Each structure stands twice: as C-alpha cells, then as structure tokens.
Structure 1
Amino acid sequence: MSPDKIFARYFSTPKQMAYFSVVVGLVSALLFGGLTSLMLHNKREAGYDVLTKDIRHYLDTFFHDLHVTADSIQPLTAADCPLVSPELTSRAAFNVNVRVFVLIRQGVAYCSSATGAMSMPMNDLIPDIDLNKNIDLFIMTGTPMMPGKPTIVAWFKNPATDGRGVFTTLNANLIPYLLFTARQSEVLSMAIVVGDRALTTLSPEVVNVGSLPAHPTRIAALNDYPIKIHLYGTSWPLEDIQLSLLTGLIFGLFSGVICSYFLCVRMRPGKEILIGMKRGQFYVVYQPVVDAQKLEMQGIEALMRWEHPTAGMIPPDAFIAFAEAQQLIVPLTRHLFALVARDAQELQTVLPPGAKLGINLAPSHLHAPTFKDDIIAFAASLPPHHFKIVFEITERDMLKEKEAMSLFSWLHAQGFEIAIDDFGTGHSALIYLERFTLDYLKIDQGFVNTIGMETVTAPVLDAVLTLARRLNMTTVAEGVETREQAKWLIERGVNFLQGYYFSRPLTLTQLLSWSQSQNSHNFLKDVH
C-alpha cells in the first residue's frame, strides 16, 4: 500500500490528524526536554570554555590585523598631510570596523582620513591615551563626527621615530554582535573592558568597570593588548530545568505543528514558488540605464517581481533569499529568462542595437551543472545580434574561485559581459575585483546616498571610483534619486546611471509608453 493511501486510511479526518499531532508533540516534548536536562549542565560549562577560547582568538586576529595595517601606515607620518591624505582615506575606506585613521607627529594630530589636514594636540583630543606606550587603547563615549556613538581608540607608536604614530577609532558597538550572535543562549550579558571603562550589553552608554557585575563567568584577555571581554552567565540548576522545560515545549509544539502541517497540507517547502511560476504570478519589470554623457537610455536591467494572490506583492529580497535556501534559484532564474525572451521582440523596438540587457545571476546558479546550457538557451531565445547581455553577479554567496574563473572566461568567450552587483554591500567585493576579470562595477545605492553628506563613509565613494578607473572597469551608479547626485557622478566620470531620478522599474507596457513620451535630452537639461 502506498504512503498516500496509508495516510488516507488512518488520518482521514481532521480529528484523527489533531490527535496524532498532539501525541507526536507530547512525545517530542518529553524526549527533547529529558535529553536537554541531562546534557545541559555539562555542555554549558564546556561551552563557556570554548567560547572564551574563540573570543580570545577573534580578538588576537582582529587586533593583529589592525596592528599590521597601522604599521603599513606608519611611513605616512614622515610626510605632510596633502601628500598622504588620499592614501590614508583609501586605507580607512576598506577597513570595515575602522571609522578613521589619524596621523600623529610630536603629540599633535595633523592628518585625518575623514577630514584631511588638522591640528589638535592629543592631550586635548584624547588626554587618557599614553603616547609613550607602543600600544594603548581607550574607550570614548563618541567622536566629534559621531557623538554619542561609543568607540574604541587604538594608539600605535611609530617604532622607528619618536613622537610619531597612528591612532584609529573603531566601531566598537559591532564587536558584541559579531562575537555573540551565534552563541547568545550561553551568555546572559557581556562587556568590553579597557582600563577603568567598559561597553556592556546591559547599557548603551560607556560605564565604569566598578558598575559591572562583580563576578564574570569567564574573562577573555590578551597578552599584547590592554583589552578584556567579560562574559556573564549562570549555572543555576533551576535555569537548567526551566530551559529544559522550554526546550521540550518548543520542540513539542514544533513537532506537533510540523506533523499537522505534513498531514493536512503535504506540501514540500518552496512549492509556493513553483506554483507561482506555473500560474503566472511572477512578472518582469525593466529599469532604464542611462549613458552619463549622452543622457540617453542605453540599456535596461530586468528585475523579477512576485504578486501573490493572497499575500500581495512579495519583496524581491524575501522571495529570492527563500528560493536560494530551497535550491529553487535555478528554476526561478530560468523563468526570468523565459519572461525576458517573451518580451524581447517588443524590447528591441525601444532599445538600440547593442543595448545592454542586465540579468541578475546568483552564485549558486553560476555553479549549477546546467549553467552553460541555460545561458546558451537564453541567448538563443533572444533576437540575434541586438542585445548585449550583461550578467550581474550578486554577492549573497561566495563564489568558488577556480570554477568561477573558468566560467567567467567562458562567458566572455561567448560574447557576454559580467558585472559585480551592489558593489561593497557583500562580503567578497574586493576579492572579486582582485581575482576575476569583470567588465562593470555597479555602485550600490548606499554609497550614492552619501553624496553631499558629511559622513565618515562619504569618502568611500571617491575611493571606489578611483579603484574602478585604475582597473579600467565601466561604472554604473544605482539608486540615483536627485539631480545633485546625477551631476556629481557625471562630473566624476561614472559611465552609466540608474535610479528613480530617471525612471522607476517599469512593466513592458509602461516602458514602451515611457520611451515614446520621453525626450532623452530632458533628463538633465542643466546638469552639464
């Protein structure tokens, strides 16, 4: 007898399904609660030891890398600020946890990666830093540019020349999140301690060490740097019992719900997406890409949208992430190919020959066994020799380096172009530029939004554009929303612009209408 018939025979009514689900939930609650109560105490103590070791290793690596970076900057202290300011800004831009690097000469801060030339005695700026030490740390409540944002100040003395050195401010508020996200269940609270000051998860403000709980469960300290991490937890048996009961309750409810869901719905994860593709719930919108010099539409980016019949519009980030998690990104991308191919005949009426057609590709599709066949089939479905296809590689997952190099070479050999999408928002952007041959660098909207704003991250966009020019990469700025942003980007040599200032993503019908009514030279009449 098949499984479906067995289920139909023994669980043919909602009442039977509910009874069975309750029994499964109770058994799961007893099983998992009992196992948790037996194992929790020993695992808790062992977990504290492992966590302390990992934190110490993290801090060692973090400050060693920072020290190496500071040592590489030390030679800049021999030169005046105008000569080294661009290099200093570049170094700060590509160090994620660094707010600013400042050069010190004879006890005076004279050059900042954020503000350029300055002149301020260190005794006035940070009186508690000891410039006679080779390395010193201090916790501040904020900086002039970011008041109210606690930071760790790190001083590195120039080993070759007295009176010179480098200090930097760090995004200290990120460190607890990075350290404890994966293991929050083991620790009730924590504190970063430097001298007599501390940052703690119990308060958003800088506090004195004396106000911290008296007996930390573990302390992670470094030999070479004056910083400690205090961890606070508990080994009370009552909490173990409570956690065991909670674990049993959660697993019992989870098992009962899953059982009920399986019996009642019998749908595998991701079937909603497959049904949506089958029933035409997905559609494509096209966002114009404008040539920065001609101020004419020279291409489009194809973007998938999902209008669910009951949930309404599903955000792209949500359904794309879910599709990747359920290994459905390949069929979803093939569906995108099919929808674009269906529109291609009409698209060529509004796009000139050689126009760019941007298509997003996830790394998981790039490494799929059917990738080459999918690409060849997609290219064959389009009008011949009209569109220049640009595959935009997203950064949700890391690329497999050797395989990606081969695939990129194959794509180039087939006449396709490659862009890195949303540059700077993922975890691998610089690695991509270093190791792969890419044609386009798409600047994320987050950088474009800093134009005209005096923020710590504002210099990053200049550094990105400089990097692109040195690598001979074509640049595309995304998220352009104002005339000022467009003018700034054009003056700095950005090749293409894309964003709401020109047009929102449009359906095919809207794009055809927009193209007919839009005078291309009305985009930015007074920009030049």
Structure 2
Amino acid sequence: MRIIGSTSMFTRYFFHLNRKIVLISILTGLLTAFAVGGFQFWLEQEKRITRYDALLDGVSSWFSAYLGEIRATAEALQPLTLSDCHDVVSELTSRAAFSMNVRAFLLVKGQNAICSSATGVMNVPMKDLVPDIDLNKATDMVILPGTPMMPDKPAMALWFRSPLLDDRGVFASLNINLTPYMMYSSEQPDLTGIAIGINDRAISTFTTGLIDLANFNQRPFRTVQVNGSPLTLYLYAERWRQEDLQFAALLGATVGMLIALLSAYMLYTRLRPGKEILTAIKREQFYVVYQPVVNAKSLKVSGVEVLMRWKHPTAGEIPPDAFIHFAEAQQLIIPLTLHLFRLIARDAPVLKTLLPEGSKLGINIAPGHLHAESFADDIHAFSRSLPQHHFSIVLEITERDMLRYTEVTKLFEWLRTEGYEIAIDDFGTGHSALIYLERFTLDYLKIDRGFVNAIGTETVTSPVLDAVLMLAKRLNMLTVAEGVETPEQARWLREHGVHFMQGYYFSRPMTLEQFVNWQVPSFDALV
C-alpha cells in the first residue's frame, strides 16, 4: 500500500501549526540530526553485523531443521527397501509429495536405484545418476548441477544408508530456492548475494547454475557452518567504507528535516492504520465479481464463488491478495467481510433469477473473522439478508493463519447444524492443510490451480493431484478444482472423479451486469 504525499501537503499543514508545535517539531528535528550524524560512523556497522548474523543464523537454523526432517523421513522409508517397488511406490510418492522441496526419493539396493517416487520402477546404477555420492558412507551430501527430470536447475542430493543392511538405503534430491534471499538482498544496497556450498561447489543468487568457490572472484563478508552437515553458508556484501563528515552532516540534516515534518504531520493529522480501506468501504470503491462453479457430471452451473475487488480512484485495480493481507494485518478483515456481505445481499435478488434454487454461494472467510465473538451473529444476519431457501452458503476457509482447534471445532459443528457448508480453500498452498483435514470435518476440498496446471506434465507436482483426490475420496469430501483453463484439464478431472470445476475455461469472474448478459457456453467437447 503506497501513501502518496507532496511538498504542498506538508506546507499546508506547516502554516497552520501554532508556535508551540512548530518549536517542538524544530527541536525534535535538530536533536535527531545531531544524533544521526554523530553515531552514523559506528552505528551502521553494528547494525550491519547484527543484521547479517541474524540472517545467517536464521537460514542456518532453517536448513538444519529442514535436513533433520528429511533425515527423519528417510529413516521412515528405509523399510521400503526390503519390498518390491510396485508395492511401495505409492507410499514413496506420497512421502515426496508432502515433503517440502523434495524432487524425488529413490530406494537403493546394492549400487542401483530400484524405485523412484517420480518415475516408479527403475534399475539404474547410482554412479551414473550421482557420480560424486559415496554410498559407503552412512550419510553423504553433494550439490548437483541438475537432475534427470530438471537438468538445468541445481539441486542438493542426500544419501542415507540403511542402519541394518549396508547395501541398501534412501536417496533424496532437493530443490534449493534462494529467491527469498535475493529479494532480501535487493533491499540492502551493500548486500550483493548469498550462497550455500559443499566444498568448492555452491548454489548462489549470482547465477542460475553452480559456482566454483575456489575460483569465485568475490570474498564472503560472513560465513557460517550449518550444524550437523557439510553445508556452509556464504554472505557477500560490500566492505565497510568510512563516511566523511560531509556525508554524516547531510544524512543528519535530511533525517532531521524528515523527522521534524513527520512530527508536525502526526501532531496535526489523525491518521489511523487502514484508513484507506475504511475510506474505500465508505466511498463504495469495493465491488464483487462472481465466478461460476460447474458440476463436473452434468456440466451445469451449480453455484458461484464470490470474490471482492477494489478499484482505487488513483491506483486503479488493487490486487486482492494485497488488500486482504493488509486488512488482516490492520485487523480490518471483519468490517471488510461485512461489507462483502452487504454487497452480495444487494445483488441477491438479481442472482436469484440467474441461479437455480439450491445454488452454492462460495464466500471466503478469514480465520480472524471465524474466531471473532460476532461471527455467529454476522453469518446469521447475512443469511437472513438473502432470498429465503434459495442459496446454500459455503464458507471457504483460507490457510493464511492457523485455526484454534478447541474454538473452531465447536463452531464448525454449529455451522453444519445450521445448514452451512465448509470448504478448505486453495488446498496444498498453506502450512496447515493436512492439519485441517485431520482435525476438522469439512465438506469441500478446493484443489489449488497449481495442481490443476500440472495435469499432463511430467513434473514433481503432477503425481500430487492423484494423491489429493484419493485423500478426498477416503475422507468423503467433495472436490472443487480451481483454475481449469483447458478442455484437456476438464476431461481429466471429470474422468478422475472431481465433483465441481471452475476456471477461465468455463468463465472468468464477472460483475453482476456481466453475469446477467452471460451466455452459458456449450461444453460438448467434454462429453
């Protein structure tokens, strides 16, 4: 969210200040200028060291914990080396699918890989797959320039020998993604990059391929060894440069002036966090769009997902993820959701003429609203505002925040008793999806478009969809596939028992006016 200001705005406030506030603001600015200028020489260096050490400690701790999880998973897979690949490949695939950043698990017998979570039965010498791995060690780790299925993307390879049988073990290939640290480095002008290496081979933010540390032309600013592994983290940054008095004076004057203006501005302006959202609600800048949901068997529209949009008068269309996250951070998700309820209720009489009786209205509900004391009254009031006995409300729960088990269990039971249905939205993209399925009784599982896009591709993601559908079937949950864009995807989903579908292949999200004029397309290509 950007807050746009100008010199004229500050000038307008400045000339309306009384003498006392002016003196306080000027004094604050002068004190700040002297403080910043006087401590710049040593404070910045201390901040840099602290910042980079914290970054490296955090990354190191994460890698240490992550490798520990991979080790635990590999230990759990060791008994599978005693079985035939046909009997254990589904378990192997499931483990890989639900293990973060794992490309593939391989079962090794003798010197050969005999079973892969990605490709199934195989019989390939390990020296051909990973020449540098040492199968004689209890554990070994190397960095690879690529793997057979992803030859151009570096990976980390781990070997875990069976503690009982020396000729057997589990091999894992992992994705190493340094993109978050590239984003961090872009915000720090003197931080140039980060690398993770074993011996002289490393993955870095400098190139998409591997780098040779022995011949690399940059010297690391800080390094740290990851506990319990041969991994070393390297942080690259510009060397400290002593700033002269002119720079310190300029910096102090600039910061002092900004602090003086900010002090005056805050004293005379009652700014509230989230003011933009409250203003947008008041000025009717939010609107709703409806995306049809199609019954996979009958190919008829069975309901809609209701989505909120924001058209800012100067910034244009604001991405939903941006303003929803902002509203949650500012604890404004409840008034925003209540506004959504009002917008839907306003459209409901027209919607009733467009959708058959019993149609589903899928509405996103944030965990923060679910836990609010007013939620039961809010959802009841919303239900009463709709045409009686025409729509069925489906509450789509997002995974951005964890649900509190003891509170939500009773709430879900109450919702189901009252006739509301519950869906877990964008399944597989959040940290809590499996926990939700384990703890709560849910009606719908909405499959994220990322899994739908993998249909017909040979990627690590592609086998996950089969596992998700099997899981939903065992839990007696209805499935909704999001992001369906091609007839091939729609046919595959129908053949594999998905109950409902939505996406651009059927229709983009539409305003009420567009929905009124929408002609339901023919889906004969799917029959």
- Name whichever of 308-317 and 62-71 sits farther off: 308-317
Give the equivalent residue in structure 1 for 2:5.
none
Matches of residues 107-122 of structure 1 in structure 2 within 5 Å?
107-122=111-126
Structure 1: distance between partners of 2:289 and 2:258: 39
- Name whichever of 188-197 and 27-36 sits farther off: 27-36
CA contact (8 A) 1:287 1:301 kept: yes
- 1:283 pairs with 2:287: yes
- 1:432 pairs with 2:432: no
Give the equivalent residue in structure 2 for 1:524.
523
Give the equivalent residue in structure 1 for 2:83.
79
Q: CA deviation at 1:228?
A: 2.3
CA contact (8 A) 1:44 1:186 kept: no
Give the equivalent residue in structure 1 for 2:399.
395
- 1:91 pairs with 2:95: yes
Q: Which amino acid aligns with 2:152?
A: G
Q: CA deviation at 1:374?
A: 1.0
Residues 247/82 of structure 1: CA separation in 2 closer, same or farther (3 Å cut) = farther
Give the equivalent residue in structure 2 for 1:106.
110
Give the equivalent residue in structure 1 for 2:411.
407
Q: Which amino acid aligns with 2:145?
A: T
- Name whichever of 230-239 and 80-89 sits farther off: 230-239
Residues 184/424 of structure 1: CA separation in 2 closer, same or farther (3 Å cut) = farther
Residues 66/275 of structure 1: CA separation in 2 closer, same or farther (3 Å cut) = same
Give the equivalent residue in structure 1 for 2:134.
130
Give the equivalent residue in structure 2 for 1:312.
316
1:263-310 alpha-carbon deviations (Å, 9 max, x no partner): 787543422322222222222111111111111111111111222233
Structure 2 counterpart SS, 1:348: helix
Structure 2: distance between partners of 1:383 and 1:511: 18
Give the equivalent residue in structure 2 for 1:489.
493
Q: CA deviation at 1:113?
A: 1.2
Q: CA deviation at 1:48?
A: 6.0
Matches of residues 323-362 of structure 1 in structure 2 within 5 Å?
323-362=327-366
Give the equivalent residue in structure 1 for 2:451.
447
Q: Percent identity?
A: 55
Residues 120/379 of structure 1: CA separation in 2 closer, same or farther (3 Å cut) = same
Structure 1 counterpart SS, 2:354: coil
Structure 2 counterpart SS, 1:152: strand
Give the equivalent residue in structure 2 for 1:459.
463
Q: Which amino acid aligns with 1:162?
A: D
- Name whichever of 281-290 and 331-340 sits farther off: 281-290
Structure 1 counterpart SS, 2:107: strand
Q: Which amino acid aligns with 2:454?
A: T
1:188-227 alpha-carbon deviations (Å, 9 max, x no partner): 5443221332223344331223125797555433564322
- 1:150 pairs with 2:150: no
Structure 2: distance between partners of 1:242 and 1:112: 64
What root-mean-square deviation, in Å, do the aligned CA atoms of Structure 1 and Structure 2 show?
3.5
Q: CA deviation at 1:397?
A: 2.3
CA contact (8 A) 2:422 2:443 kept: yes
Structure 2: distance between partners of 1:103 and 1:49: 38
Give the equivalent residue in structure 2 for 1:4.
none
Structure 1: distance between partners of 2:312 and 2:77: 54
CA contact (8 A) 1:41 1:240 kept: no
Residues 157/344 of structure 1: CA separation in 2 closer, same or farther (3 Å cut) = same
CA contact (8 A) 1:40 1:240 kept: no
CA contact (8 A) 2:185 2:191 kept: no
Structure 2: distance between partners of 1:242 and 1:410: 68
Give the equivalent residue in structure 1 for 2:213.
209
Structure 1 counterpart SS, 2:242: helix
Q: CA deviation at 1:377?
A: 1.0
- 1:298 pairs with 2:297: no
Q: CA deviation at 1:65?
A: 1.1
- Unaligned 5+ residue runs, structure 1? 1-6
Figure out how many residues of one structure are paired with residues of the other and give that number: 517
Structure 2 counterpart SS, 1:286: strand
Structure 2 counterpart SS, 1:31: helix
- Unaligned 5+ residue runs, structure 2? 1-10
Q: CA deviation at 1:387?
A: 1.3
Residues 69/246 of structure 1: CA separation in 2 closer, same or farther (3 Å cut) = farther
Structure 1 counterpart SS, 2:353: coil
Q: Which amino acid aligns with 2:424?
A: I
